[in-house]
């Protein structure tokens, strides 16, 4: 791949959502913005190899996309200088003063009533963060073809019912915040641990989501779930340096070197969680953050209070039942009351969904190994490895399978 092609691919991967947001904010809607950006990227692939990559690829793409959307004739004219493109990009950002990041505004736009609730978070992931249907489908446990068709229909309905682009009114934004927070967290989990092309030098998907989550918490200080989500992501991010060893090998939570955890991030997460708890209105993200807070306390005490984690999972399942919460509770139950209790809890998961849910497979393998069922554990570790998209985690699971077989 040439330097120009790499620069275009990088801009599309890391800045797609931001550029679509900027273009959509100028009017014409999401579909028109995506079409214009696609044309600008195609133009970049033909121009950059000859003229070189501009100093501001984002600004260049915004300028060319605007021309493609608003004036077909001018699109073929001479390109402005790179400095002018950068100035244009900054002007576009400044135009949304009430929304410091245009991506956040577009997230709220995708959560409108014209989009069915189940598709709001997936639509945000595609339109704002540039994820493809396959990656989104893996996060929501549905077939990629089904997700692709559903997203196409959702965008068509959005285009028909809301062809222009306008930020929601304050009361509308308050109603949509739950969907926005779910999309931000889905983006964070997809980008965690280097899966799906996370770029450590520039931040990548996980850090984009972390930034948006912090922004959402700052803009909605009276929304405890926004604070809870920010705390949850900060707890997870605080352990980034410990998730891989010096050779890049995966390290599970219970084996991580706690001295590598970021104390400032943990402190910031605890502060956000305390502010959320002060509202006296518990929610999914607050409870998940509280679970991570107990794990983080191992840095101080040297042990994990599994009984406390089990109580929190009980509350989470009562408030926001999910396969992920059920799996996490089963692991906590196995640690607190024995492997057989955990295995029995795992069997409560719907059979149709659990088969393709990698954390369920990995949890069952772990508990089987704990119980002494080595051959069954080895087979389950291999199934979990086959469902993992993180190469390092896949290797670790296969090694666990070999260990189980060897006794």
177-213 pLDDT, tens digit per residue, is 888 898 889 888 888 755 444 444 334 778 878 888 8
Span between the terminal Cα atoms of the chain, in Å: 46
Structure tokens belonging to residue 182: 């779910």
Average pLDDT over residues 375-387: 96
pLDDT at 67: 75
pLDDT of residue 81: 35
Q: Give the mean pLDDT of 301-306.
A: 95
pLDDT band at 318 (very low <50, low <70, confident <90, very high): very high
Pick from 11-20, 161-170, 269-278, 379-388: least confident: 161-170
Neighbours of 110 (CB within 10 A): 26
Is a pLDDT exceeding 60 seen at residue 84?
no
Q: What pLDDT is stored for residue 401 in this prediction?
A: 97
Is the predicted pLDDT of residue 75 greater than 70, yes or no? no
Which stretches of 162-302 are DSSP H helices? 170-191, 204-219, 224-238, 263-277, 284-296, 298-301
| pLDDT reading at 79 higher than 50 | no
What value does the mean pLDDT take over residues 160-187? Answer: 74
Nearest to 101 by CA among 182, 216, 24: 216
Higher-pLDDT residue of 365 and 117 is 365
170 — pLDDT class (breaks 50, 70, 90): low
Cα–Cα distances in angstroms (integers) from residue 355 to residues 276, 327, 383, 388, 395, in the given order: 35, 12, 9, 13, 20
Out of 3-17, 95-109, 325-339, 385-399, which region has the weakest mean confidence (pLDDT)?
A: 95-109
Q: How far is CA 212 from the centre of its chain?
A: 10
pLDDT at 208: 79
Flag whether pLDDT at 337 surpasses 90. yes
pLDDT at 1: 56
- Per the model's pLDDT, the better-predicted residue between 337 and 139 turns out to be 337
What's the rounded Cα separation, in Å, for the pair 224 and 222?
Answer: 6
What's the pLDDT band for 85 if we cut at 50, 70, 90?
very low
pTM over 0.75: no
Q: What is the pLDDT of residues 100-158, one digit of tens each?
A: 566 777 788 788 888 888 888 888 888 777 778 888 887 787 888 899 898 888 888 77
Instruction: Calculate the average pLDDT of the chain.
Output: 82
The predicted model gives 68-72 an average pLDDT of: 55
- The residue among 361 and 9 whose pLDDT is bigger is 361
Of 75, 73, 7, which is closest to residue 40 (Cα–Cα)?
Answer: 75
Q: How confident is the model at residue 52 (pLDDT cuts 50, 70, 90)?
A: confident
Q: Is the pLDDT of residue 324 over 90?
A: yes
Residues 277-281 have a mean pLDDT of: 94
What is the average pLDDT across 18-23?
Answer: 72
**What is d(CA 337, CA 264) in angstroms, rounded to the nearest whole number?**
33
129 token code pair = 């963060």
To the nearest whole percent, how much of the chain has pLDDT over 90?
Answer: 42
The answer, yes or no, to whether residue 359 has pLDDT greater than 70, is yes
Report the distance separating Cα 211 and Cα 104, nearest Å: 10
Angle between helices 102-109 and 204-219 (to 10 degrees): 80
Q: Note whether 319 and 225 are within 8 A (CB).
A: no
Residue for token digits 């502060």? 271
């Amino acid at each position: 791949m040439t330097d120009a092609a790499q620069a275009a691919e990088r801009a599309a991967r890391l800045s797609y959502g931001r550029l679509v947001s900027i273009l959509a904010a100028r009017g014409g809607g999401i579909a028109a913005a995506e079409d214009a950006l696609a044309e600008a990227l195609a133009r970049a692939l033909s121009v950059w190899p000859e003229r070189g990559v501009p100093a501001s690829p984002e600004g260049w793409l915004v300028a060319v996309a605007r021309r493609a959307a608003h004036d077909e004739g001018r699109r073929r004219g001479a390109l402005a200088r790179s400095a002018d493109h950068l100035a244009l990009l900054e002007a576009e950002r400044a135009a949304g003063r009430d929304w410091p990041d245009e991506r956040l505004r577009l997230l709220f736009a995708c959560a409108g009533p014209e989009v069915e609730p189940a598709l709001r978070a997936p639509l945000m992931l595609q339109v704002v963060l540039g994820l493809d249907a396959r990656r989104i489908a893996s996060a929501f446990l549905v077939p990629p073809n089904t997700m692709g068709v559903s997203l196409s229909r959702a965008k068509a309905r959005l285009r028909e019912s809301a062809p222009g682009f306008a930020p929601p009114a304050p009361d509308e934004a308050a109603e949509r915040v739950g969907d926005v927070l779910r999309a931000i967290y889905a983006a964070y989990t997809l980008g965690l641990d280097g899966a799906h092309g996370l770029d450590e030098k520039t931040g990548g998907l996980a850090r984009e989501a972390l930034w948006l989550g912090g922004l959402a918490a700052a803009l909605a200080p009276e929304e405890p779930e926004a604070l809870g989500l920010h705390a949850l992501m900060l707890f997870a991010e605080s352990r980034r340096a410990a998730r891989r060893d010096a050779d890049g090998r995966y390290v599970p939570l219970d084996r991580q070197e706690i001295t590598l955890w970021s104390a400032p991030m943990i402190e910031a997460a605890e502060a956000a969680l305390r502010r959320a708890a002060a509202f006296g209105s518990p929610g999914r993200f607050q409870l998940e953050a509280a679970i991570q807070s107990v794990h983080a306390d191992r840095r101080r005490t040297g042990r994990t209070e599994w009984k406390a984690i089990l109580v929190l999972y009980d509350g989470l399942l009562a408030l926001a039942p999910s396969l992920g919460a059920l799996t996490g509770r089963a692991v906590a139950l196995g640690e607190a009351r024995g492997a057989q209790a955990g295995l029995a809890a795992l069997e409560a998961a719907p059979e149709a969904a659990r088969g393709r849910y990698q954390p369920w497979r990995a949890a069952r393998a772990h508990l089987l190994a704990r119980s002494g069922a080595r051959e069954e554990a080895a087979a389950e570790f291999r199934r979990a490895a086959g469902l993992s998209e993180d190469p390092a985690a896949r290797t670790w699971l296969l090694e666990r399978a070999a260990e189980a077989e060897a006794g």
